[in-house]
Copies of this chain bind each other. A is one copy, B any other.
Amino acid sequence: MAMSDLIEKFLLQLLDEMGGVAELQRGDLAERFSCVPSQINYVLTTRFSPEHGFLVESRRGGGGYIRITRVSPEPTALLMHAINAVGGAIDGPSAAAFLKNLLQAGVLSLGAARLIGAALGDAALRAVPRERRDAVRAGILKQCLVHTYHVL
């Protein structure tokens, strides 16, 4: 088993114990495994990338740190599925359910979900005749999701 695998395993276990967020110092970890610090970067980029469902933040200088956060894996797949599932019309409650799901899956931030919710509400669509609102709502929702997909 390569050293990178050991480091990965260590970090995964740490993440489990810490409930999804682990904060550490690169030098410490490197010392613990008797390797050069830059090897930690290698492990982070190859095994803790966003595609693998992790977010890595860091800060340099005195008191610097590296923070690894477990996020939902494969947001793009979920988004694609959601976009296809919206269809040509969608009523308010269904749209709200969609947003709630994507929020809980971590694909949308709370702020984004609420913002889209505001754009989809009946208050926002007052200028649209009732019988056409579901179609308009679908168009807006889809476009917002497509936008989110592109931003990801």
Residues of chain A whose beta carbon lies under 8 Å from any beta carbon of chain B: 1-5, 61-63, 109, 111-112, 114-119, 121, 123-128, 132, 135-136, 138-140, 142-144, 146-148, 151
Report which of B1, B115, B138 forms a contact with A112, defined as CB distance below 8 A.
Answer: B115
Report which of B61, B127, B140 forms a contact with A138, defined as CB distance below 8 A.
Answer: B127
Would you call A63 and B1 a contact (CB within 8 A)?
yes
A152 to chain B, nearest CB (A): 11
Q: Which residues of B contact A112 (CB under 8 A)?
A: 111-112, 115
A140 to chain B, nearest CB (A): 5
Report which of B5, B63, B138, B144 forms a contact with A119, defined as CB distance below 8 A.
Answer: B144
Within the oligomer, what is the number of copies of this chain?
A: 2
User: Contacts A63-B1, A116-B119; is A124 near B143 (CB within 8 Å)?
Assistant: yes
- Interface SS of chain A: helix
A56 to chain B, nearest CB (A): 19
Q: Which residues of B contact A109 (CB under 8 A)?
A: 111
Q: Report the Cα distance A142→B121, complex, angstroms.
A: 12
A125 to chain B, nearest CB (A): 6
Q: Report the Cα distance A128→B138, complex, angstroms.
A: 11
Q: Which residues of B contact A116 (CB under 8 A)?
A: 115, 119
Q: Which residues of B contact A61 (CB under 8 A)?
A: 2
Q: Report the Cα distance A111→B150, complex, angstroms.
A: 11
User: Contacts A1-B63, A63-B1, A111-B151; is A128 near B132 (CB within 8 Å)?
Assistant: yes
